[in-house]
Structure 1
Amino acid sequence: MSKTERQSIYAEVTSRIIAELEEGRLPWVQPWDATSCPCTMPQNAVTGRRYSGINILILWATVIERGFTRQRWLTYRQAEAVGGHVRKGEKGTIICYADRFIPKAEEERAGQEDREARTIAFLKRFTVFNVDQCEGLSGDLTQLPEMPEPLVSIAEADSVIQRSGADIRIGGDKAYYAPAGDYVAVPPQAAFHDPINWFRTVFHELGHWTGHGSRLARDQSGSFGSALYAREELVAEMASAFTCASLGIVPTVRHSDYIGSWLAVLREDDRAIFKAASAASKAADYLLNREGVVS
């Protein structure tokens, strides 16, 4: 993909996210209607692999906007390969895959100069279709996933928290992560009007916790009100949303008062939401992998 095409993707997606925020809506927190579409992570219908990073936000938004009933997606060729097809006239959804690679020439030069090879970023576009846009697919590709009962979701959430090994101190009237002491503080569950919000809050703070230097090593040195601080809050918000959705818990907003600072960050850097969503996916996977929820 050319540099111009990459810039176009960054600009298109960022503009869409900015428009949502300007309307007071958070792309990772939507009024999910469980009777229309279960709140789960989007996944490839054929491989079962879950989408990550910015693609989660893109696909969630598309499900809501177009009224799809499932969070399952596949490419045009995949639909044909399994004996089905995309209905004529259906419009696909563009997602992207970002990574880095080392050109062979650079690898050779680095070896000769006894230094680390420099990587080059690349971005690919893919067009996917929701299974609702297809015909002829087998039932196992289109069936709705079995959603856990609320008590089961809470039990799994509690297990994820316990298995994280994080130092969680319950008490007081504020929730926060203390990087210097590497601990999470959270009020008791009785302080929350809705008990499930205690888990959502803990997952937000554990999102910060994953960024410690001994774990995912994100830059958490930003002071309150700074762009760096806003970026870290954005990561924690989405990490909580991704973790909740993976457990069948509907994500809700914690820090809507940061919308202004998030808008400033996104307007300044059209790659910021990509970076934050990628970091949030890694944070959620870090927590869930400890429990075995994500393979």
Structure 2
Amino acid sequence: MSKRAIDGIREALIQGLMEGTAPWQKPWKPGDKDVSQPYNASSGRAYTGWSNIVSLWIASDKSGYTSPAWVTFKQAKDLGIHPRKGEKGTPVEFWKFHKKREKNENGTTEEKVIPVNRIFYVFNEEQLADPLTEAAKPPVIEAQPEPVQFVARLIEASGIPLSWGGDKAYYRPSTDGIRLPRPEQFHEVSEIAATGLHELIHATGAASRLNRDKSDRAREEVVAEAGAWLAAMRFGLPATPENSASYLTGWASRLKGDQAKEIDRALADAQKAVNFIEQMAQECGLIDGVDDSTAATAAA
């Protein structure tokens, strides 16, 4: 993503964190008619990657859009409609990976993966002169019928011991285990699932997994909260922020160094954690595999 585009997203994220209005501080319920993951109305695919999802959520929140459907200028034109005069697009990034075989310095042939990045500007359905009547239908995110059991299986699939009891939720690095209060101690099932995801994201940072730098506790809390929200959308789980807005805002204000860089780093780490959990879930059959072309074609 261009420096100008990504900087705008970072600035909005920092402002949202300080005001307690970051996207992952808002509830997410699969199937909720007023809350839906942003998708491309030409391909019908959901946008992937933290920068795309957050960019579109921030734009929707700022402008009051209720439609999750987005299209490029060309896609709108192909559908016989166009953005209203004066409307500005929102940036999303498109990644595609090309494989190329090259000889190395030892004379042997090896395969290299070359990433290609392009920026597209998309328009929300509510920025168009006419509604997207001929557009692809939005992706249906099926709600898990047993969210608590599903999260427990996700934790098990990641090889992390889970125990119940006490009045605190935490991941303990020394034992590499997660402990959650008993289900009856929570007010709602959604709180159990959200808290379990939060602690699971923490656990992905262990040396035996992603070996994430957790020296800055403030950044790690942002990673866990944002990652839990992204994971909830991916797996069809309800997300009720485990931390209050004021609590998370407090952590954000204590980020060390350049806040913009630390926010970017935290969100990138959150996405890596979700990808790690998704791979584990696929390997043990909890979820179906996803077509590799999804991320590449979502923005195009």
For structure 2, which runs of at least 5 residues remain unmatched after alignment? 291-300
Match in the other structure for 1:229: 217
* In structure 2, C-alpha distance between the alignment counterparts of 1:176 and 1:197, rounded to whole Å: 14
* In structure 1, C-alpha distance between the alignment counterparts of 2:18 and 2:94, rounded to whole Å: 27
Which secondary structure state, in structure 2, belongs to the residue aligned with residue 271 of structure 1? helix
TM-score, with normalisation over the residues of structure 2? 0.74
Aligned ranges for residues 203-222 of structure 1 at < 5 Å? 203-220=197-214, 222=215
Amino acid at match of 1:52: G
Match in the other structure for 2:274: 284
Which secondary structure state, in structure 1, belongs to the residue aligned with residue 92 of structure 2? strand
* In structure 1, C-alpha distance between the alignment counterparts of 2:70 and 2:132, rounded to whole Å: 12
1:40 to 36, 39, 43: 36
Shift of 1:23: 2.0
What is the CA RMSD across the aligned residues, in angstroms? 3.8
After the TM superposition, which segments of 4 or more aligned residues of structure 1 sit over 6 Å from their partners?
Answer: 31-36, 98-102, 119-123
Whether 2:226 is the aligned partner of 1:238: answer yes
Question: Identity rate of aligned residues, in percent?
Answer: 29
- Against the structure 1 CA distance between its residues 206 and 248, is the aligned structure 2 distance closer, same or farther, given a 3 Å change threshold? closer
Match in the other structure for 2:177: 183
Higher relative contact order (CA closer than 8 Å, sequence separation 6+): 2
Aligned ranges for residues 1-295 of structure 1 at < 5 Å? 6=3, 8-30=4-26, 38-47=34-43, 48-96=45-93, 111=105, 124-134=118-128, 135=130, 137-141=132-136, 143=137, 148=142, 152-156=143-147, 158-165=149-156, 166-220=160-214, 222=215, 228-246=216-234, 247=236, 249-254=238-243, 256-265=246-255, 268-289=258-279, 290=281, 291-292=286-287, 295=290
- Against the structure 1 CA distance between its residues 111 and 22, is the aligned structure 2 distance closer, same or farther, given a 3 Å change threshold? same
If each structure's helix is expressed as a fraction of its own residues, which one has the higher value?
1
Which secondary structure state, in structure 2, belongs to the residue aligned with residue 126 of structure 1? strand
Which secondary structure state, in structure 1, belongs to the residue aligned with residue 146 of structure 2? helix
For structure 1, which runs of at least 5 residues remain unmatched after alignment? 223-227
TM-score, with normalisation over the residues of structure 1? 0.75
* In structure 2, C-alpha distance between the alignment counterparts of 1:177 and 1:251, rounded to whole Å: 19
